[in-house]
Amino acid sequence: MDPLEAYDRYVQAWNEPANAAAILEGVWAETGVYADDEVPNGLVGLPALVALMKSNHADMPGFRVWSTTVPRMLAGRLAVKWEGSGGQPPIRSSGTDVIEFDRDGRIARVTDVFDTE
């Protein structure tokens, strides 16, 4: 799996939560971890990540996320800045994803560092 393709599918899954599990199949490692400021200990596995995505969309209808920089590879990790918006009134958020991959190129860990204001 190409890291950039894996990342593109990861973003697509955030924007299509109803199809997230299918989009991430083969991209997300079985024991993949997602961690951010709100879940610092991380969520393990695809079902937990998909539940988070769906919850996020339920809390902020119309939520969309997009990259604001070109993803960069450094020491086997991918880093990219992103922004997101959703809800009524719209709530904006932004941060940096640092993504680690397993030997097969699947996403093994996403550490999402939110921007502070």
Measured between alpha carbons, how far apart are the two ends of the chain, in Å?
36
CATH topology assigned to domain 3-114: Nuclear Transport Factor 2; Chain: A, (3.10.450)
Task: Give the chain's mean pLDDT.
Answer: 95
Could you tell me the pTM of the whole model?
A: 0.94
pLDDT in tens, the chain (117 residues): 899 999 999 999 999 999 999 999 999 999 999 999 999 999 999 999 999 999 999 999 999 999 999 999 999 899 999 999 999 999 999 999 999 999 999 999 999 999 986
Q: What is the pLDDT of residue 1?
A: 86
Sign (positive or negative) of CA dihedral 65, 14, 103, 1: negative
CA distance 115 to 117: 7
Sign (positive or negative) of CA dihedral 59, 12, 115, 78: positive
Residue partners of 58: CB distance under 8 A and separation at least 6: none
